[in-house]
Structure 1
Amino acid sequence: MKVSIYDVANLAGVSISTVSRVLNKSGYVSSKTEKKVYDAVEKLNFIPNVIAQNLANNETKLIGLYFTSLPNINVTSSNTYILEFIKGVNEVLIRWGYHLLLINEINDIKKIMSNQCKPQYYSFIKQKRIDGLIIGTTPILCSSFFELLDHKMPMVFIGEKILNHTGLNVYAQYKQYSRDILDYFYDQNHRYINVLSMEKEIMGSVIREFEIEKKDEELKLEHFLSPLNLDSYLDLLGTIFTQKNKPTGLLVEDTSKVQQTINFLNNLNLDAPNDVSIITIEHKFQDGEQCLPAVTSVYVPAYQMAFEATTMLFEYLQGNQDFNKEVIVDSKIIERDSVKSIDRN
């Protein structure tokens, strides 16, 4: 038979509201009365309805985590980033006694961008079905997002700050570390570089700025959007490396595709790094060590980013943080065996 709060109140000889105050730790209750309630709870093996308690306190004890697109973990790309990010978020949630709610996006991204529909996280936070929101990737710049910023809703996003004096964000300096990779290739005398990235606009602007600054007639930079599907990705590699003039430097953003890239090149009798130098971006420390050869990487710590974002969110929820803070996470190039300097003499 299920035990209710009424049974606890009867056994303790107190009112239901007194039991509620004791269990929710709200309002004054004498130590004697408190002991009666806890003794009754223990004797009856009563398990409080946590959801009902939280609703009474105007809390859900849930933090929403949203990624613009959540890939199939068995198939793709950015898995390491997502898994490391979830670990970082969960580390903080456990300390605060909160739970994670992963919010999937079911609407078309283009429709969200054009404000034809709202992102999935919007109703969750507006209807207070979650206590706070973390956007784990660069947010879609739509009216719904800006509305939440304007109303100072409990939300932290990953990416560059959008408004100077509004919002909570964690930024790993994507532009800067992308530029660092191009500089690294250039310093090793590579002048024909291909970039396979999952980001179009920002990477495109980085490349254009790099070309303008270098003013090098020998420099040739080509940018391709990296397909999520492995077969399509390998088809793209085939297009790149079966042409007469081949790039000597290759940035493969997705670490999970680096070993397949190396194997594909080997099948074309091309060797890394002697024929093609490769750099990637790793979100879990030493992931690049798993490749053969070990691949030079920029380490962008997804776990730390998530930990900082979640900590900032709770600081805001507790009233200890204004709605205007940016945390910058540093990244660094880890030199391994996949890049070779070219002799230009």
Structure 2
Amino acid sequence: MKASIYDVANLAGVSISTVSRVLNKSGYVSSKTEKKVNDAVFKLNYIPNVVAQNLAKNETKLIGLYFPCLVDSTEILSSTYILEFIKGVNDVLIQWGYHLLLINEMNDKEQILSDKCRPQYYSFIKQNRIDGLILGSAPIACSSFLELLNLKLPMVYIGEKLFHNGLNVYAQFKQYNKDVLDYFYSRDHRHIAVIGLEERLESVIREFKDDKHNDELKVEHHFDPENVNSYLDLLKKIFTSEDKPSALLVHDLTKVQQTINFLNNIQLSVPDDVSIITIEHKYQDAEKCFPSVTSVYVPAYQMGVEAAKVLFEYLQESQGYSNEIIVDSKIIKRESVKNMTKLRNT
């Protein structure tokens, strides 16, 4: 029969609370009493209840991970960003003896923004069901999120710093998108199409065009459709018009080879007719396309590592509640971008 804490207390001749103080290393216990308790634990082969110990210390040893307005399991498994980010977080959690809890969202963005419902992570951290929280992408700035920030609860979010306080990791979304547009522009591409979900792309494109002051420059943002047929319809609309772009930024790497194949089917080749750049979250993923595709490498694994590290630093009270970690992204040049300068000079 498995020994209990009561058995340990009886054998050591002390109270249950004394056994608890020895096991949890909380409160004063004489060295003589501590030895009696430890001898009883050894003799009875007593294994403490880790969950009970954590509760006694007000800890769960769980870190919540939440991706706003996501997700079903198929979306997780198909997203390199999410998988790499989870790996990064989990590698740090293992070092600290913590476990990962993935928190799903069942409500849509509009419901959360209008305060008709709270995001799912709210009750987890408010009720101390987790020791800390990581928001794996840019948060919805709803009243629940603001409340947690004001309370300085252990929470880290991904994306640009929204307020003066809080913990965040930022891969400079605006800058690396502008870098791609600059890369195309430096190779004399003056008609560029961008396919991506982020609404923030609108402001990036607007600022880029304002900086260039070039009447020839045309940059269009197309929202990435969810299903394959709609995506192919979008490509058809873009590339069968008389005024078609010479350069294309596709945010979703999983759609790049499909895009290349579509272009080939309508007798357009990469890079001779259309230049392509994409975003990769796992190093050299875009190398697998044919032809290999120039990319911006945004290191999702490192982002996960940095998010977990800054969270634990806060939990250990080794830093204040205002820290932004910047993660660098870089363009990896491959075979998918044509330099149009020579054509313009002929």
1:292 is matched with which residue: 290, 293, 310?
A: 290
Contact 1:78 1:254 in 2 (8 A): no
Identity percentage of aligned residues: 69
- Which position in structure 2 is the counterpart of 1:325? 323
Q: Does 1:336 align with 2:334?
A: yes
Contact 2:71 2:104 in 1 (8 A): no
* Separation in 2, partners of 1:241, 1:3: 73
Q: Given the superposition, is the C-alpha separation of residues 263 and 46 from structure 1 closer, same or farther in structure 2, using an over 3 Å criterion?
A: farther
Q: Does 1:203 align with 2:201?
A: yes
Bigger shift: 109-118 or 166-175? 109-118
Contact 2:69 2:108 in 1 (8 A): no
Contact 1:76 1:228 in 2 (8 A): no
* Separation in 2, partners of 1:76, 1:186: 34
- Which position in structure 1 is the counterpart of 2:149? 149
Contact 1:283 1:299 in 2 (8 A): yes
What letter is aligned with 2:198?
A: E
Contact 2:282 2:299 in 1 (8 A): yes
- Which position in structure 2 is the counterpart of 1:138? 138
1:315 deviates by 1.0
Partner SS for 1:47: coil
- Which position in structure 2 is the counterpart of 1:22? 22
Partner SS for 1:279: strand
Give aligned pairs, total: 343
Q: Does 1:221 align with 2:219?
A: yes
Partner SS for 1:141: coil
Contact 2:250 2:276 in 1 (8 A): yes
Bigger shift: 7-16 or 330-339? 7-16
- Which position in structure 2 is the counterpart of 1:185? 184
1:230 deviates by 2.7
1:142 deviates by 0.9
* Mapping 1:76-87, distance limit 5 Å: 79-87=79-87
Q: Given the superposition, is the C-alpha separation of residues 287 and 96 from structure 1 closer, same or farther in structure 2, using an over 3 Å criterion?
A: same
- Cα deviation, 1:21-65, whole Å, max 9, x if unaligned, reads 222122344555445444443444433221111111111111111
- Cα deviation, 1:67-108, whole Å, max 9, x if unaligned, reads 013344545797111111111111111111111111111112
Partner SS for 1:326: strand
* Mapping 1:54-65, distance limit 5 Å: 54-65=54-65
Partner SS for 2:69: coil
Contact 1:169 1:327 in 2 (8 A): yes
Q: Given the superposition, is the C-alpha separation of residues 161 and 75 from structure 1 closer, same or farther in structure 2, using an over 3 Å criterion?
A: closer
Runs in 1 of length 4+ with deviation above 6 angstroms? none
- Which position in structure 1 is the counterpart of 2:239? 241
Q: What's the TM-score once normalised by structure 1's chain length?
A: 0.94
1:2 deviates by 4.1
2:313 is matched with which residue: 309, 312, 315?
A: 315
Partner SS for 1:94: helix
* Separation in 1, partners of 2:30, 2:37: 11
* Separation in 1, partners of 2:315, 2:49: 23
Q: What's the TM-score once normalised by structure 2's chain length?
A: 0.93
1:344 deviates by 1.1
- Cα deviation, 1:247-272, whole Å, max 9, x if unaligned, reads 11110101111112112222222211
What letter is aligned with 1:115?
A: D
Partner SS for 2:318: coil
- Which position in structure 1 is the counterpart of 2:127? 127
The CA RMSD measured in Å over matched residues stands at 1.9
- Which position in structure 2 is the counterpart of 1:266? 264
* Separation in 2, partners of 1:293, 1:38: 66
* Separation in 2, partners of 1:129, 1:338: 48
- Cα deviation, 1:93-150, whole Å, max 9, x if unaligned, reads 1111111111111112111112222111111111111111111110101111111111
Partner SS for 1:168: strand
* Separation in 2, partners of 1:258, 1:115: 37
- Which position in structure 2 is the counterpart of 1:256? 254
What letter is aligned with 1:193?
A: I
Partner SS for 1:293: coil
* Separation in 2, partners of 1:186, 1:80: 28
Bigger shift: 207-216 or 327-336? 207-216
- Which position in structure 2 is the counterpart of 1:112? 112
Structure 1: runs of 5+ lacking an equivalent: none
Partner SS for 2:102: strand
